[in-house]
Amino acid sequence: MKHLFFSLILCLFPIAVNATAIEQAPWEPRAAAYRLTLFLGNLNPTPWDKLESSWTAPVPGSALPVSALSRVTEVESADIREALRTKDRQALFEASTTAISGGILRHLDAAETALGTSSGAEPEIAIAEALFRAFEDGIAAADASAAKEIGRAWLVLNSSVGSAGLLGNGIEDPNTIAFAEAKSTISDYVEQNYLLAEFTPRSKLTPIPESIFVSGVQVDLPATLPPGSDIADQREFPRLVLQFEEAGEDEANLPLVAYGDMLFDSPEIFGGPAQELGITCSTCHNRSDVNRDFFIPGLSHRPGGMDVDSAFFNPMFNDRTDDHLDTPSMRGIRFTAPYGRDGREPSLRRFVRNVIVTEFAGKEPTPFQLDAMVAYIRQFDFLPNPKIDRAGLLTDLASDAAKRGEVLFNTKFAGLDDKSCASCHTPSRHFRDGKTYDIGTAEPPFPGGTPTAFETPTLRNVNFTAPYMHDGSLPTLASVVDWFDSTKNLGLNADQRADLTAYILAVGDGEEPYQHFEGTDSVFRLSWEELTTFASTLDTLLPAQDAENIALLVATVAPDLAADASAMTNQAAKPDVYEFAAILRAVGVASAAGDWHEANRQWNAFKIRQAEIDERMF
């Protein structure tokens, strides 16, 4: 169990509450390019090639497959191109801000001209509004009263265009006066804040209005990701196999593990943008497997991974290189030390600590928190695979092709320095050897430098973790076999390559890789069990009077519960969810105040309600 209650409810009832779970509506191409410019422009070093393609090629998350430059005026285009050519970040900010604001004003003018005509003003207003989206959250964060006034103006614009009626009925004349007034509210603000003869230089690129920026007022702009980002949970729900469950244990009796499970799903352990965006360990390491959809333009080269040490999540530890890493599966992690694609870290505990502090700018975790996370993570098992036995040899369930492939896998090749595939991917050791090699999958970091060596990855359950290699550069297992054959001159013919692929597919298989919900087994029930398991750790935290971890638990679980209850379509379940969130909060409030008697009283109330609901549900 490892998904938060709220993210599971989201699967059942698609709603727009959490930053993590909503899919963004597509962006107007220019607005998409602008938001990419702000995001990429704040990375260090500045990725100029990506900035250029933001404007010259269609970008992910954009509503139309056209380049942004194809939709700007010639002057705007020339200014943007010049800024890109001279690699002048401030000039690019100015030129692109001008292009967006110019576009808004032009489309508003066009709307006014079209008032009362057969084509109508609506399409033009819609484009202006789609462009305005590029600035909207900057205004909302920095200038709340203006944001409110402008929000009202868009409503007035849309409602004062009149109506051509239906078959001559219900004709309504446009209200030109109301329209003109609303239009100038918007265009005046845009002109004064975004269409300037001279901009003040910005060290951080943001959509904050110039008047606010110049005033020097500190603005808390919420962390945002550029269009085309996908940090929501993937649709498929990987099956989680936990060691203690196989042993017949219940997680609720393993408080350390249950608490680690909660932390694995908590953005609270991170700092900075990761916390604000609701990113957790399970955002990438989905139920011990990988989230193959995870993607952030500028940080990910392809779905399923990213550059984990970039400036975005923790500017303090930016390594200043753009190195995409494919997220590794964590199944069977207790067998697969050392850690990191390059095998740099023998200690799982230290690796986890560094993820929290170094990569995602979190506070130093307490020893208890690290113990809990490591205890939980060490429970992740491989999916069972009846095609191999305990020694990693194929069983009778494997195909003949796989069996022929097994022979090849154990054959020494000159091109592999007289090793076999099995020398490194040792079948009796979960198809890995714990060592690192430079097998030629990476370029040296600089000409003449030493290329990075990578750890031999396990081949168990590898069928579910495409793409392959540390950087995800090979899309399929067949392409990995082809890569070895051609780069290592193995001299395999097509049949042999197919056999070797069949072998890896047999070894890499797993039973029921994705969770299916049937009968009383529902997403809702799973989420319910998860929540109550997280909460059960209070049985340990309360007697220990551990206010810090109680606060973290409540901060992780209660707000999302309540937020999601507000949007649940299952009306009948709402009051229960609200009540649970409220009781949990009361535990948190009492424990923060040091009132342990009250905290315990609330916790007992929670357990009584839980027992009643459990009874009703099962």
Binding range to ligand HEC, per CB under 6 A, among 249-257, 347-355, 551-559, 608-616? 347-355
Among 20, 54, 275, 441, binds ligand HEC (CB under 6 A): 441
Return the H-helix or E-strand segment holding 454.
strand 454-455
Tokens of 610: 């839980």
The count of other CB atoms within 10 Å of the CB of residue 73 is 12
For the bound state, the minimum distance from the C-beta of residue 129 to ligand HEC, rounded and expressed in Å, comes to: 32
Q: Which is nearer to ligand HEC, 61 or 457 (CB)?
A: 457
For the bound state, the minimum distance from the C-beta of residue 324 to ligand HEC, rounded and expressed in Å, comes to: 8
Nearest 10 degrees: Cα torsion 505, 507, 510, 513? -40
Tokens of 293: 């959809």
Length reported for the chain = 618
Among 68, 306, 502, 584, binds ligand HEC (CB under 6 A): 306
Residue reference for tokens 């970039």: 310
For the bound state, the minimum distance from the C-beta of residue 47 to ligand HEC, rounded and expressed in Å, comes to: 18
Tokens of 285: 């390491």
Query: Does 312 sit near ligand HEC (CB under 6 A)?
Result: no
Among 283, 496, 533, 549, binds ligand HEC (CB under 6 A): 283
- Cα dihedral 8, 14, 16, 19 sign: positive
Binding range to ligand HEC, per CB under 6 A, among 132-140, 469-477, 547-555, 585-593? 469-477
Q: Which is nearer to ligand HEC, 2 or 133 (CB)?
A: 2
Tokens of 17: 């509450």
Query: Does 454 sit near ligand HEC (CB under 6 A)?
Result: yes
Return the H-helix or E-strand segment holding 41.
helix 29-41
- Give, as ranges, the residues between 473 and 502 that touch ligand HEC (CB under 6 A): 477, 480-481, 484, 500
Among 6, 39, 312, 339, binds ligand HEC (CB under 6 A): 339
Q: Residue 45, preceding bond cis, omega within 30 degrees?
A: yes
Compute CA distances 429 → 244, 422, 501, whole Å: 21, 10, 20
Return the H-helix or E-strand segment holding 407.
helix 400-409
For the bound state, the minimum distance from the C-beta of residue 610 to ligand HEC, rounded and expressed in Å, comes to: 28
For the bound state, the minimum distance from the C-beta of residue 46 to ligand HEC, rounded and expressed in Å, comes to: 21
Q: Quote the DSSP letter at residue 52.
A: H
Q: Compose the 234-273 pattern: x for residues touching ligand HEC by CB under 6 A, - for all others.
A: ----------------------------------------
Binding range to ligand HEC, per CB under 6 A, among 133-141, 163-171, 302-310, 530-538? 302-310
Among 193, 206, 286, 327, binds ligand HEC (CB under 6 A): 327
Query: Does 328 sit near ligand HEC (CB under 6 A)?
Result: yes
Binding range to ligand HEC, per CB under 6 A, among 40-48, 197-205, 380-388, 437-445? 437-445
Q: Dump the DSSP string for 217-228.
A: ----PPP---TT
Among 465, 496, 537, 549, binds ligand HEC (CB under 6 A): 465
Return the H-helix or E-strand segment holding 305.
strand 305-306
Q: Dump the DSSP string for 240-299.
A: P-BHHHHTT--GGG-HHHHHHHHHHT-GGGS-HHHHHTT--HHHHSGGGS--TT-B-BTT
Among 21, 84, 281, 562, binds ligand HEC (CB under 6 A): 281
For the chain, counts of helices (H) and of strands (E): 24, 4
Q: Which is nearer to ligand HEC, 96 or 549 (CB)?
A: 549
Query: Does 275 sit near ligand HEC (CB under 6 A)?
Result: no
- Give, as ranges, the residues between 394 and 423 that touch ligand HEC (CB under 6 A): 416, 419, 421, 423
Query: Does 383 sit near ligand HEC (CB under 6 A)?
Result: no
Among 121, 125, 355, 552, binds ligand HEC (CB under 6 A): 355
User: What's the number of CA atoms in the CB half-sphere (13 Å) around residue 554?
Assistant: 25
- Cα dihedral 187, 192, 194, 198 sign: positive
Among 133, 202, 341, 430, binds ligand HEC (CB under 6 A): 341
User: Residue 88 contacts by C-beta under 8 Å, 6 or more apart in sequence?
Assistant: none
Dist CA 76 CA 86 (whole Å): 16
Binding range to ligand HEC, per CB under 6 A, among 147-155, 275-283, 380-388, 534-542? 275-283
- Torsions phi, psi for 78 (to 5 deg): -60, -40
Among 105, 190, 257, 284, binds ligand HEC (CB under 6 A): 284
Tokens of 186: 């918007």
For the bound state, the minimum distance from the C-beta of residue 477 to ligand HEC, rounded and expressed in Å, comes to: 5
Please name which of 579, 581, 586 lies closest in space to residue 603, comparing C-alpha atoms.
586
For the bound state, the minimum distance from the C-beta of residue 431 to ligand HEC, rounded and expressed in Å, comes to: 9
Q: Dump the DSSP string for 165-208.
A: -BTTBS-B---HHHHHHHHHHHHHHHHHHHS-SSPPP-SS----
For the bound state, the minimum distance from the C-beta of residue 505 to ligand HEC, rounded and expressed in Å, comes to: 10
- Give, as ranges, the residues between 500 and 519 that touch ligand HEC (CB under 6 A): 500, 504
- Give, as ranges, the residues between 101 and 160 that touch ligand HEC (CB under 6 A): none
The vertex-337 CA angle with 334 and 339, nearest 5°, equals 110
Which residues would be at the binding site for ligand HEC (CB under 6 A)?
279, 281, 283-285, 305-306, 308, 325, 327-328, 333, 336, 339-341, 348, 351-352, 355-356, 373, 416, 419, 421, 423-425, 437, 439, 441, 454, 456-457, 459, 462, 465, 468-470, 477, 480-481, 484, 500, 504
